[in-house]
Amino acid sequence: MTLKNGIDMEKFEQLTAAAEDDPENAAFRFFAETEWTGDTTCETTVSEIEKGGTLVDSPEFTMEGALFGHRDAPNALEQLLSSLGTCLTITYAAHGAKRDLEISEIRLEFEGRADMRGLLGLADDVRPGFDHIECTAHIESPASTAELEAVQEAAHASSPILDNLENEVTVDIHHATAE
């Protein structure tokens, strides 16, 4: 095994070659679920990763990574889904409370799709991150459908993470050299 900067170069080269041979090998789907635990807290569970339609990882984080790292923690894309889930869950709860609506459960299921050819620098026309995120919201409440739709609208309109994902954000990155 050849390591460079802690990265297993053999795995990296295998992933790159597979993606070059067939773009379907670079099609990844990441899954996460966020559940409201009350107040302004929630818990996100990261689940499987699919590569080219095949399950390559499980939520136990016990096997080598689907990309080229170790699966002992969520990767950056999974953390993004977690951030979105946490933010939306809390805004759902807050806007329900603001409207004096009783909510007993909020559970959001996420699926994010990404083409790793962008990350690997294999295709200039492919973005390196998610190209689509889908969310299914499960909300348990005695409130009417219209009331819950109003909560959903308000939550979406006021979620900082959703806003950052849906709208362009200027990010300035400054490089510093070691002294």
23 CB-near residues (< 8 Å, 6+ apart): 115, 117, 123
User: What is the rounded distance in angstroms from the CA atom of residue 126 to the CA atom of residue 140?
Assistant: 38
Residue 57 pLDDT exceeds 80 = no
Residue 9 within any structural domain of the chain: yes
157, 125 Cβ separation under 8 angstroms: no
pLDDT computed for residue 58 by the predictor: 59
- The domain spanning residue 54 has which CATH number? 3.30.300.20
pLDDT in tens, 141-164: 999 999 999 999 999 999 999 999
Residue 178 within any structural domain of the chain: no
pLDDT band at 171 (very low <50, low <70, confident <90, very high): very high
pLDDT in tens, 17-51: 988 999 888 899 999 999 999 999 999 988 788 88
pLDDT computed for residue 80 by the predictor: 95
pTM of structure? 0.85
Residue 175 within any structural domain of the chain: no
Residue 173 within any structural domain of the chain: no
* Segments forming the whole domain that contains residue 91: 3-166
pLDDT band at 74 (very low <50, low <70, confident <90, very high): confident
105, 111 Cβ separation under 8 angstroms: no
Report the relative pairing of strands 41-51 and 54-57 from DSSP bridges: antiparallel
Domain count, the chain: 1
pLDDT in tens, 121-132: 999 999 999 999
Residue 61 pLDDT exceeds 60 = no
Residue 55 within any structural domain of the chain: yes
Distances 152 to 88, 125, 169 between C-alpha atoms, Å: 9, 34, 23
Amino acid at 94: A
Beta bridge partners of 21: none
Distances 44 to 24, 61, 82, 110 between C-alpha atoms, Å: 28, 15, 6, 10
User: What is the rounded distance in angstroms from the CA atom of residue 49 to the CA atom of residue 36?
Assistant: 23
Residue 172 within any structural domain of the chain: no
Residue 132, token pair as written in the block: 């689509």
pLDDT computed for residue 63 by the predictor: 30
Residue 56 within any structural domain of the chain: yes
Mean pLDDT of all residues belonging to the chain: 88
Of residues 5 and 155, more confidently modeled: 155
Residue 174 within any structural domain of the chain: no
